[in-house]
Amino acid sequence: MALDHMTANPLPKQAMKAELLDAETERQLAYAWRDEGDVMALHRLINAYMRLAISMAAKFKRYGAPMNDLIQEAGLGLMKAADKFDPDRGVRFSTYAVWWIKASIQDYVMRNWSMVRTGSTASQKSLFFNMRRVQAQLERQAEADGARLDKHQLHQKIASEIGVPLRDVQMMDGRLAGADFSLNAVQSSEAEGREWIDVLEDDSAQAAEVVEGSHDRRQLRRWLVEAMQGLSGREQLIVTARKLRDPPRTLEDLGRELQLSKERVRQLEAGAFLKMRKALEMQSREVQKLLL
């Protein structure tokens, strides 16, 4: 890839020394990559605009992500832009690349903001990066007007200002206000305090359910074996090949082995299933008699 040799710390300094491309050179490099697959032209185009990617990455340092990681994500966005750029549209590459770089950085920041997925829709993404700024503006405006907004009013105004559903604003406010806590954290300062994970309900099967389920499966398996024993050898072969093999054998394949037509094999299969169903129903009636 174009950035493989530029992932170490000197990357920003190297980017600042890269050439500045004029519009015609930029267009020729884009044509060379798109039409001829010229990798060197792609490298040259990406390296020339790496300073743009680094500049944009620096704007996201406030979200707590390592700068090297932000630069790497910005570089990935730049490479996507170079790969998809169409020089026939008459747009400068830098103008086109800005969107891809920003999108790549934003996706990275949101993925790493919390262990819980912060948001995936366009409205949630817009809220994540704009909510606090819009909230501060609204609070300053309300203060200048001598008004005081409660939380619900503030959420409504944010939703209207950004153009997103109110429920998304309420959800994002909680996500941005809270932090991740370990379930292994102790509830109190006492030495014998329980961890938070100890108070979570265990939704796995209880011992009684496990025993009952195992018993039922063994019973069902025994009934099926007994039902199979009531079939002829040919019927057992067909049922085993059609229902107990993965992948199941086809009717044509079985027909060739048994020297029967496809339709005859189908009839034998249906007849075998009918015999097994009757045997299982009889077993069920016997069980019901015992329970009454």
Q: Find the CATH number of the domain harbouring 96.
A: 1.20.120.1810
Same domain, 149 and 229: no
Same domain, 31 and 73: yes
Any domain includes 189: no
- Across 35-61, b (16+ Cβ under 10 Å) vs e yields eeeeeebbbbbbbbbbbbbbebbeebe
Rounded to whole angstroms, the Cα distance separating 289 from 292 reads 5
Quote the pLDDT of residue 263: 93
Quote the pLDDT of residue 291: 52
Same domain, 75 and 134: no
Any domain includes 197: no
Same domain, 16 and 65: yes
Any domain includes 273: yes
Same domain, 63 and 106: yes
Any domain includes 271: yes
For the entire predicted model, the pTM comes to 0.46
Quote the pLDDT of residue 177: 63
Tell me how many domains the chain contains: 3
Quote the pLDDT of residue 266: 92
Q: What is the CATH number of the domain that holds 235?
A: 1.10.10.10
> Among all chains, which residue has been given the structure tokens 């002829």?
232
Rounded to whole angstroms, the Cα distance separating 230 from 226 reads 7
The residue among 66, 84, 113 that closes a domain is 113
Any domain includes 102: yes
Digit-by-digit pLDDT tens for the chain (292 residues) are: 444 444 445 566 666 666 788 889 988 998 998 888 889 988 888 888 898 889 888 888 877 788 888 898 999 999 999 988 988 888 899 899 999 998 888 888 877 765 445 555 666 677 776 777 787 888 888 888 888 888 888 888 888 888 887 877 777 776 666 554 455 556 555 556 666 556 555 666 666 777 777 777 888 888 888 888 889 999 999 999 988 888 889 999 999 999 999 999 999 999 999 998 888 888 777 656 655 5
Same domain, 98 and 148: no
Any domain includes 191: no
Same domain, 107 and 16: yes
Same domain, 132 and 39: no
Same domain, 157 and 77: no
Q: Residue by residue, what is the 3-state secondary structure of 13-75?
A: HHHHCCCCCCHHHHHHHHHHHHHHCCHHHHHHHHHHCHHHHHHHHHCCHHHCCCHHHHHHHHH
Same domain, 9 and 97: yes
Same domain, 140 and 57: no
Any domain includes 16: yes
Any domain includes 167: yes
Quote the pLDDT of residue 37: 87
Write out the two tokens for 145.
């007007």
Same domain, 100 and 34: yes
User: Whole domain around residue 152: which residue ranges?
Assistant: 122-177
Quote the pLDDT of residue 115: 45
